[in-house]
């Protein structure tokens, strides 16, 4: 299995960046979900599960400098100007916070994923990061090809699934990972379990992705709501496009 593409999302739920290499550390991809937008009134870190507008924002690193863009303002560094623009954009007091210093975040989602007027449920993330559940998400090209063959009327774009690592491999290449260890470039990872999907897969995104509720409905019906694989980093290192995923002896 070969690395086909690599992705990092510096601000939780905003669009991220496609890269030619990633650095893996003890807590996953360095710089991934390392920032979030704090709703000051509720005390929650905003997620596109609750507020779909987050997908209209984008974040990337230029060297070590984080740059954030929202509708009406582009390439802002963390600070007062960005916080004012976040508050203006979302229509409520908000500011950018770093996961390393914020502590364990609280997130929100609607009780009914398809109805944004329903009440909310809350849960806590992992300490020191704004990922929901695991530090690394893998996806195979075979999974996307299979989904597209099953429902060619829908947009099975990799951006819907927000992976860190996309592997050129068949749809069942990583089936039942259950603690298997593998070399990924210069790093070692442990494949833990398949990834349960959420409403974010059906959200609209800039760049032509439409709101398609049947994306998640089909994944639920045809694949027990599982696409992709969660993993943890056993030993850090650099991963590049073209590197292999090889089982450890």
| Averaged pLDDT score across all residues of the chain | 94
CATH 2.40.33.20 fits 2-247, yes or no: yes
Kindly tell me if the per-residue pLDDT of 227 is higher than 70: yes
Kindly tell me if the per-residue pLDDT of 249 is higher than 80: no
| pLDDT tens per residue across span 113-170 | 888 889 999 998 888 889 888 889 999 999 999 999 999 999 999 999 999 999 998 8
Q: 141-150 and 213-223 helices cross at what angle (nearest 10)?
A: 100
pLDDT confidence tier of residue 175, bands split at 50, 70 and 90: confident
Kindly tell me if the per-residue pLDDT of 20 is higher than 70: yes
Q: What is the mean pLDDT of residues 98-111?
A: 93
Kindly tell me if the per-residue pLDDT of 176 is higher than 70: no
pTM for the full model?
Answer: 0.94
Separation of alpha carbons 191 and 167, rounded Å: 13
Q: What is the mean pLDDT of residues 46-67?
A: 96
pLDDT higher for 21 or 27? 21
pLDDT higher for 175 or 182? 182
| pLDDT tens per residue across span 194-217 | 999 999 999 999 999 999 999 999
- Closest to 24 measured CA to CA, from 245, 236, 181, 190: 236
């Amino acid at each position: 299995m070969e690395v086909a593409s690599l992705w990092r999302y510096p601000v939780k739920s905003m669009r991220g960046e496609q890269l030619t290499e990633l650095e893996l550390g003890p807590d996953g991809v360095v710089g991934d979900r390392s920032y979030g937008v704090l709703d000051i009134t509720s005390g929650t870190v905003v997620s596109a599960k609750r507020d779909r507008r987050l997908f209209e924002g984008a974040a990337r690193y230029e060297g070590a400098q984080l740059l954030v863009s929202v509708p009406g303002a582009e390439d802002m560094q963390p600070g007062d100007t960005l916080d004012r623009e976040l508050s203006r954009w979302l229509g409520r007091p908000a500011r950018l916070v770093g996961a390393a210093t914020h502590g364990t975040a609280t997130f929100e989602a609607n009780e009914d994923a398809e109805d944004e007027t329903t009440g909310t449920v809350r849960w806590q993330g992992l300490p020191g990061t704004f990922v929901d559940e695991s530090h690394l998400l893998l996806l195979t090209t075979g999974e996307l090809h299979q989904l597209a063959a099953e429902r060619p009327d829908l947009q099975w774009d990799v951006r819907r699934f927000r992976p860190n690592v996309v592997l050129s491999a068949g749809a069942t290449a990583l089936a039942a990972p259950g603690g298997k260890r593998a070399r990924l470039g210069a790093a070692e990872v442990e494949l833990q379990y398949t990834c349960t999907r959420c409403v974010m897969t059906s959200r609209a995104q800039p760049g032509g992705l439409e709101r398609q509720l049947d994306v998640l409905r089909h994944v639920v019906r045809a694949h027990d709501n599982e696409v992709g694989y969660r993993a943890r980093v056993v030993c850090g290192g650099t991963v590049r496009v073209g590197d292999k995923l090889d089982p450890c002896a």
